[in-house]
Structure 1
Amino acid sequence: MSADERLPHRSPDRPAVKPCSTCGELTGRGYPSCLGCAEVVDERWLADWRELLAAERASAGSESERSLAARVLSAEAGTFAWTCGDWALRLRRCEECGGELGAGDPVCLHCAAADAARWTTSAAADHMLRLAVLALRAPHRRRMSVVYSLRLVLPFLIVGSAVTRSQLRAVRSGVLAGRYADLAELDHVVALANLPLAPWRRLPADPEG
């Protein structure tokens, strides 16, 4: 019996889209630097990880947790929930580049292999949420227009709203057109995807600035 069968996936209460009390942006958009946003977003992963720790009688922050992370990563695909696989990667350092395993140097082959392996186990309904979180944790591994676009939609993903690939492409078009600030003022995915584009102009170095 796989761990996914032994440990049913938990769905923590998801908050309504609202400003984060810590950073003021829509909750999730300040991830991972904002502690308030990080607490809400990471709960999606931590709920399963805590349950696995309890089942394996391991303690957070201890050597037993690090050993468990290594075991999760060496297990056959599908043995553990994908959320646990992602969290285990966060707890391990890459032996080649020294970064978070799977999220280190863009040219690190060891990280590339770890990142590719994680996608062998996933849930289709959560793919976009997972992609957004990974992009914001390792923005140096993706085009910045993609990172900014995923940052814009993350607040909606964490409350369970569906974001289609076509909507994400539309949001990215707005980002590339220099409309990040305008997009950030909107509070609905449909509105983000349908914002009329201004004349094309260069993507700013930091749309939050």
Structure 2
Amino acid sequence: MRPTAVIDCPACGELAGRGYPTCLVCAELVDQFWTLDWRPLVEAAGLPEQELAELVLQEDVGKLPWTCTDMAMTVLRCTACGAELGTGDLPCLRCRVADEQRWAWDHIGYPTRMTGNEHAMRVARMVLRAPHRQRETIVEGWRLTLPFLLLGELPTNSQAQRIRAHVLAERYDELAACRSLYELAALPSVPWRKEG
């Protein structure tokens, strides 16, 4: 299921996955990891998807795969703000509570039932689905690394810090040209900030 190499998306021209969630091809490539668990659950339940999503979110944390929790939230709209549940503007209390509850799965599932790569993909997906809830540099960092996360890779702490430093130095375009995680973290350290 995972891609075996980084490729260019035929729809948006970015590295495949980087256009998530606005590019339909990138969205399909990323979301397939979530729908692998969700589709069989929907078929087995025999319920309308929204009704099933409500039931999934009422289950004890860890009873169903974390991917199902995320897909349930993707299917549901917030009754307070109308956004995808957990992605509304920060002042929306219902979205804030739903988003906080989502991460309870990580606390009980990692590292025995969720790998570091899966956790990173989950964070990347949620940041990119609600970019207005994060600083731009955080969104850019996850956008840059998502194509490599799809391959099953995971940046080391050192690599993540170097990538973040380059994003903060406004070197996104240079980073976006890199075709490997190693390349992303290996850009020269100078100049720290682009001159305008």
Tell me the TM-score normalised to structure 2 length: 0.90
1:1-209 mapped onto 2 (5 Å cutoff): 12-58=1-47, 64-122=48-106, 123-125=114-116, 126-201=118-193
How many residues are aligned here? 188
What's the CA shift for 1:202? 6.9
Give yes or no for contact 1:77–1:120 (8 Å, CA) kept in 2: yes
Which amino acid counterpart does residue 19 of structure 1 have in structure 2? D
- In the alignment, the residues of structure 1 paired with residue 57 and residue 63 of structure 2 have an alpha-carbon distance, to the nearest angstrom, of 10
1:28-70: CA deviation from partner (whole Å, max 9, x where unpaired) = 0011111111110010111110011122124xxxxx1110000
Pairwise CA distance, 1:15? 4.4
The 2-side partners of 1:203 and 1:129 are apart by 33
Structure-2 separation of matches of 1:110 and 1:15: 39
Residues 190 and 13 (structure 1 numbering): CA distance in 2 closer, same or farther, change over 3 Å?
Answer: closer
Q: Which runs of 4+ in 1 moved over 4 A?
A: none
Greater relative contact order (CA < 8 Å, ≥ 6 in sequence): 2
- Unaligned stretches of 5+ in structure 1? 1-11, 59-63, 205-209
Secondary structure of residue in 2 paired with 1:121 = helix
Could you tell me which amino acid in structure 2 is paired with residue 141 of structure 1? R
Per the normalisation by structure 1, the TM-score is: 0.84
Shift of 1:187: 0.8
Q: Which runs of 5+ in 2 are unaligned?
A: 107-113
Task: Give, in whole Å, the separation in 1 of the partners of 2:131 and 2:73.
Answer: 16
Q: What RMSD in Å do the two structures reach over aligned CA positions? A: 1.8
- 2: CA distance between counterparts of 1:187 and 1:52? 36
Tell whether the 8 Å contact from 1:177 to 1:203 is kept in structure 2 after alignment: no
Q: Secondary structure at the match of 2:166?
A: helix
User: Identity of aligned pairs, percent?
Assistant: 47
What is the CA distance between 1:95 and its match in structure 2? Answer: 1.8
Deviations 1:151-192 (A, max 9, x none): 000000011112234322211110111211111111111111
